[in-house]
Chains A and B, each alone.
Chain A
Amino acid sequence: MSMAYQKRTKDRLAARIAQDIHDGAYVNLGIGMPTAVANHIPAGREVILQSENGILGMGPAPAAGQEDYDLINAGKQPVTLQPGGAYFHHADSFAMMRGGHLDICVLGAFQVSARGDLANWSTGEPGAIPAVGGAMDLAIGAKQTWVMMDLLTKKGESKIVERCTYPLTGIACVKRIYTELCTLECTPQGLKLVDLVDGLGHAELERLINLPIAA
């Protein structure tokens, strides 16, 4: 098996996503990996971050000692507010998502299907306590839902699948998938290639995912 290619590090992956976020975009970054995208917005682009708990214009974490626990993000970590930012209540916050006002949301995922079905809230494990938060509202609400995830599980299985086996978060809602090896688009006809890391061939990627990928 060829290992001549280099995986994108988490930082490189975050930077790759940030590169596609346009100036002036309203963006919601999901809990976990997607949070890092905020650190890589290219200079000269003004991007307004939304947080589900009622913040637009969310800024970075405060300096140590400056934390204000009335000002936290969806992951419940302290953040700051940028000049021009605003607070609003939960029904407004989710109206903003559901109403298609956000340009982009970036979410983590357990699985994504070739046509853009998303599974990211539950592994369906018997006895596990379910928790969904804002995942289902976000997935179907933004103009574009992007997924940021590792392509392969620890066992080497593709998380991009023909059909999700984990419980669904939303149907045909994912537009793009950004991974450590490639960027793909989900279309009604299936996967479409956007880019690959250096040294990885199209055929090798199709073998890893075990699905056809249009060039």
Chain B
Amino acid sequence: MVNKIASSIAEALAGVQDGATVLIGGFGTSGIPGELIDGLIAQGAKELTVVNNNAGNADYGLAALLKAGRVRKIICSFPRQVDSHVFDELYRTGKIELELVPQGNLAERMRAAGAGIGAFFCPTAFGTELAKGKETREIGGRQYVLEYPIHGDVALIKAEAGDRWGNLVYRKAARNFGPVMAAAAKHTVATVYEIKELGELDPEAVVTPGIYVSKIVKIPRVATQAGGFKKAA
């Protein structure tokens, strides 16, 4: 019988090893798997490489993982935020390595990992600092940069509902990196607010098919909180 439902976050994260590459979903306030990040802090793995769009906000979640000294390197598109003081301090004192990746390349490099692509030519960042030292090629009169996949050992994502086969649906823009990260990691753990019986999720509307998911854990529903956003001009 296939049963991907874990009874606790600790059980779902038990196998995370030191030195692992951990893909963490979320964009701004939406889709951040806060409970799983807290679980990873409790679990104790260190020397981690973390992939996230940002580099943590305030003193909770990813920022708390950084503050605990457990992250060696972060791969992200936008570390600098109004409340990214934990990352800022670690970066300025040379205690964390940063690989800055344009957001679309971040997504596509993980998509490539999940799809078994060895590398791909991408027009983004051609001629900029972020393509420095990378192989380039002109194809059909346009310039491209060679980009390699980002494979995860673990992905931590937040979904809305799932079933024991690991099928997932998301809520609104909280979907963001979730489906891409789920496919790019060897061990994908998702939190859900609801566990459905098999067949209850509309098969036409399943976003992440269970084959990409290793464990799902039910968590109590809490409304997504405000925070970390920029002021409009």
User: Hey, which bits of chain A sit against chain B, CB under 8 A?
Assistant: 10, 31-33, 35-36, 51-55, 67-72, 75-78, 81, 87-91, 93-95, 97-98, 108, 122, 127, 129-137, 140-141, 167-171
- Across the interface, do B230 and A76 meet the contact criterion of CB distance under 8 Å? yes
With a cutoff of 8 Å between Cβ atoms, the chain B residues found around residue A10 in the complex are: 233
Whether A98 contacts B104 by the Cβ 8 Å rule is yes
Contacting residue for B229 out of A36, A71, A72, CB 8 A: A72
Q: Are A137 and B102 in contact (CB under 8 A)?
A: yes
Most B-side CB within 10 Å, residue of A33, A69, A95? A69
Instruction: Give chain B residues whose Cβ lies under 8 Å from the Cβ of A89.
Output: 107, 175-180, 207
Are A127 and B104 in contact (CB-based, < 8 A)?
Answer: no
Whether A168 contacts B128 in the complex (CB less than 8 A), given A33-B233, A137-B103, comes out as yes
Q: Are B223 and A136 in contact (CB under 8 A)?
A: no
B15 in the interface, Cβ–Cβ < 8 Å?
Answer: no
> Among B29, B103, B128, which residue has its beta carbon within 8 angstroms of that of A170?
B128
Given known contacts A70-B173, A70-B174, A131-B78, is B124 in contact with A137 (CB within 8 Å)? yes
- The answer to whether B123 has its CB under 8 Å from any CB of chain A is yes
Instruction: Kindly state whether residue B80 has any CB partner on chain A within 8 Å.
Output: yes
Q: How far is the CA of A125 from the CA of B205 in the complex (A)?
A: 47
- Indicate if B126 sits at the interface (CB-CB under 8 A): yes
Complex Cα gap A189–B233 (Å): 33
Cα distance, A142 to B228, chains bound together (Å): 28
A90 contact set on B, CB distance < 8 A = 27, 103-104, 106-107, 176-177, 180
Please tell me if the beta carbons of B230 and A132 are within 8 angstroms of each other in the complex.
no
Q: Is B185 an interface residue (CB 8 A)?
A: no
Closest CB in chain B relative to A49 CB, distance in Å:
13
User: Which of B80, B92, B126 touches A127 (beta carbons < 8 Å)?
Assistant: B92
With A70-B174, A136-B128 known, 13 other A-B pairs at CB within 8 A are A32-B233, A54-B175, A69-B226, A70-B224, A75-B232, A87-B173, A90-B177, A98-B122, A129-B80, A133-B103, A134-B77, A134-B102, A134-B104
Contacts of B77 in A (CB 8 A): 131-134
Check: B191 CB closer than 8 A to any chain A CB: no
Judged by a CB distance under 8 angstroms, whether B31 is at the interface is: yes
What are the nearest 4 A-B pairs in CB distance?
A94-B104, A137-B104, A76-B229, A76-B28
Within 8 Å of chain A (Cβ to Cβ): is B88? yes
Tell me the bound Cα distance from A140 to B102 in angstroms.
12
Q: What does the 1/0 interface line of B79-101 toward A look like (CB < 8 Å)?
A: 11000100110011000001011
The answer to whether residues A91 and B110 also contact, given A131-B80, A132-B77, A134-B103 and a CB cut-off of 8 A, is: yes
**Distance, CA A55 to CA B179, complexed state (A):** 15
Q: Are A98 and B124 in contact (CB under 8 A)?
A: yes
B105 within 8 A of A: yes
CB distance from A172 to the nearest CB of B (A): 9
Interchain nearest-CB distance for B176 vs A (Å):
5
Q: Point out the residues of chain A lying under 8 angstroms from B104, CB to CB.
A: 90, 93-94, 97-98, 134, 136-137, 141
Interfacial chain A residues near B223, Cβ < 8 Å = 69
Taking CB atoms, residues of chain A closer than 8 Å to B170 are 87
- Given A87-B172, A136-B125, A93-B107 contact (CB < 8 Å): yes
Contact of B173 among A71, A129, A132, A134 (CB under 8 A): A71
Please name all residues of chain A whose beta carbon is closer than 8 Å to the beta carbon of B100 when the two chains form the complex.
Answer: 130-132
Q: Does B171 contact A (CB under 8 A)?
A: yes
Closest CB-CB distance, B97 to chain A, in whole Å? 13
Nearest chain A CB to B190 CB, angstrom units:
14
- Structural contact, B127 and A168, CB atoms closer than 8 A: yes
Q: When chains A and B are docked, how far (Å) is the Cα of A74 from the Cα of B206?
A: 25
- Which residue of chain B lies nearest to A32 when distances are taken between CB atoms in the complex? B233
Partner of B29, one of A35, A36, A72, A171: A72
